[in-house]
Structure 1
């Protein structure tokens, strides 16, 4: 059973390394009501770190489910003006955002996909102008996970509730490098340095494209955007604060060239999207756009993803994660992208991150699109890495350089 001291260590890591709240800064914490025990520790640690104000926005997925079951779609898709104004006020104050995730995979399985899509589109339209604040790293943001019994039973269905919860806590804490008398902050600093070195190596090649192949049928060539930059581990906000957007993180990532992706890719892990599970799915790309897709389960919500808006049928991110990452070695399927994407190479349908384009943070959307970076209100990662993944980097003169062999980095010496 997780101890109070361990929870406090995790909260301190989330606040001081993850979101890295600055003296006098407003920290906006989004937390499920079931995670109040951890949220309170984060609030305390934020004030100890010098935060000027901490506000908690509480959420409850079970209340949300009841709303989807009983409330009219038109009502749910009507966004209260005060919510938009509050977001505007937070960003005007140059806040930082810390998110606690603890969602139950597949909770909304019985909700019609059209209703889920309508509500999500309405929310994205209402808050679209604020997305750039975090997408372009103008302010700090970070996401951490807190296990719940409902989530734990999905990951460990064979265990009793408390045993499942304890096992998931062990896995989550191992993923964020807490436990075993380790100095978590020091380990994160060393880890960020390793990821930065992988990014540096990739950036020296200026690849024109990456070619992915594996034994289950993935054969995909992903062109890379003009002036693309590989990043990984940490980011830097406009105020100079270095933060870690995702905890855990094992990836290095960059921006594809929107119109130069061709071939087929097979997902290797399920995807929890709009509260529903999508399994055994695949995409065909032609000139950057998804031209065909399929799934053994959840194809209706996969359709919602591809057709969310004009840009959601194109790639916005390509990320490399070696098969020997700690999350992968655990052998667990966490059923949440925050963890599963750190066990596997992944792609994202939807928006690119401006930080992945040279000078991108100062560009507007049209300039980013001209560089090949996709624009969308969506950004959804899906996992396609495998132990036998082979990746070759293609140079501008057509030469190929090995990047991955059998699922791990294989840069030439």
Structure 2
């Protein structure tokens, strides 16, 4: 669906903006590039752009995950527990040590390729990758690793979203500014605007937030030593502004009008209730067993992220059936999303590398390497901040930030 110019622009955005936290790669950097065979044209264009920039490549070019031929599905159907839980530690340790950046091209040639696989088995294979995520997190905290994601649309994904493949790709092209003469410059301009909002939020010294709407009444304590972050290249596209709050200060309920996709399962109609930071009630109108299986993972019943998107920045107006885009929806009211599971430690205001696991726990940063799952709502809501000086201020209303 992309001509040569749009492919080239997509690659430029990923290589010269997205990686290295919005700065682009440096000569001599090594990129671990991951994608399925259906992404071949974008995969090879990005690879060539990395080489042209003086970078090096480690590639993971994988067979398409189709229901009839998926190796992952075959393993889950026929493998032993030992095979499903296999983790090649020396290999993954070597990948993390050798890489300066990790770039995933997200794509699903068959959205439902794990249909009918028990959620418990899918959780097992996800759990086996937890050590790899810990390795990545440690290197990222030391400032020696960056990562980013981008999307490659397929007919299956378009069908799931109720769009034609052309309309699906139109959302990608518009959201990623691929028709701009200089899309990298455009991204840096937008990022600067988002950073201005983020800096204003940090300056407010917020104690806690009250999120109120027809389907939400939620109080969130931010916690000490926190700052707000924006995507800054970690996702393309990314318009959200988010933080990892003190999980212990989450109280109330929230319902989500957007489905999520977890381990190949579509989970819709999610409702969560929190008391003192823990999910005390959960339900879903579709695949509730998968939701409960996810929440049952250690510390996945606690919040790792709270995020808001300003509709003025995002050009995404359609449901896209993938978190990368749905958590950045603009539309009429922007979006609110909450992630269950692992916290983002780079929301800490100090030196991440100097903080012990015990200190992270004392500050209320949730630790859950197995899960970080975003759940999205695009309904209208008002967010009121209670500041440390006791005053209250509306910071978000009708889908946009309202800051002086």
Distance apart, 1:372 and its partner CA: 1.7
Task: Rate the CA distance shift 1:154–1:39 in 2: closer, same or farther, 3 A.
Answer: same
Distance apart, 1:277 and its partner CA: 0.4
Q: Which residue of 2 aligns with 1:227?
A: 225
Distance apart, 1:137 and its partner CA: 5.1
1:315 equivalent in alignment to 2:303: yes
1:349 equivalent in alignment to 2:354: no
| Structure 2 counterparts to residues 38-187 of structure 1, below 5 A | 38-51=42-55, 53-59=56-62, 60-62=64-66, 63-68=70-75, 70-81=77-88, 84-103=89-108, 104-125=110-131, 127-134=133-140, 138-156=144-162, 164-179=164-179, 181-187=180-186
1:284 equivalent in alignment to 2:273: yes
Structure 1 SS opposite 2:229: coil
Show structure 1 runs of 5+ residues with no match: 158-163, 235-243
Q: Which residue of 1 aligns with 2:332?
A: none
1:409 equivalent in alignment to 2:401: yes
Task: Rate the CA distance shift 1:69–1:36 in 2: closer, same or farther, 3 A.
Answer: same
Could you tell me whether the CA contact under 8 Å between 1:73 and 1:118 is conserved in 2? no
Could you tell me whether the CA contact under 8 Å between 2:76 and 2:122 is conserved in 1? no
Distance apart, 1:23 and its partner CA: 1.1
Distance apart, 1:105 and its partner CA: 3.3
Show structure 2 runs of 5+ residues with no match: 330-334
Superposed CA RMSD: 1.9
2: CA distance between counterparts of 1:208 and 1:136?
Answer: 28
Q: TM-score, normalised to structure 2's length?
A: 0.91
Could you tell me whether the CA contact under 8 Å between 2:93 and 2:135 is conserved in 1? no
Structure 2 SS opposite 1:256: coil
1: CA distance between counterparts of 2:185 and 2:73?
Answer: 44
2: CA distance between counterparts of 1:373 and 1:156?
Answer: 37
Q: Which residue of 1 aligns with 2:362?
A: 370
Structure 2 SS opposite 1:21: coil
1: CA distance between counterparts of 2:287 and 2:313?
Answer: 28
Q: TM-score, normalised to structure 1's length?
A: 0.89
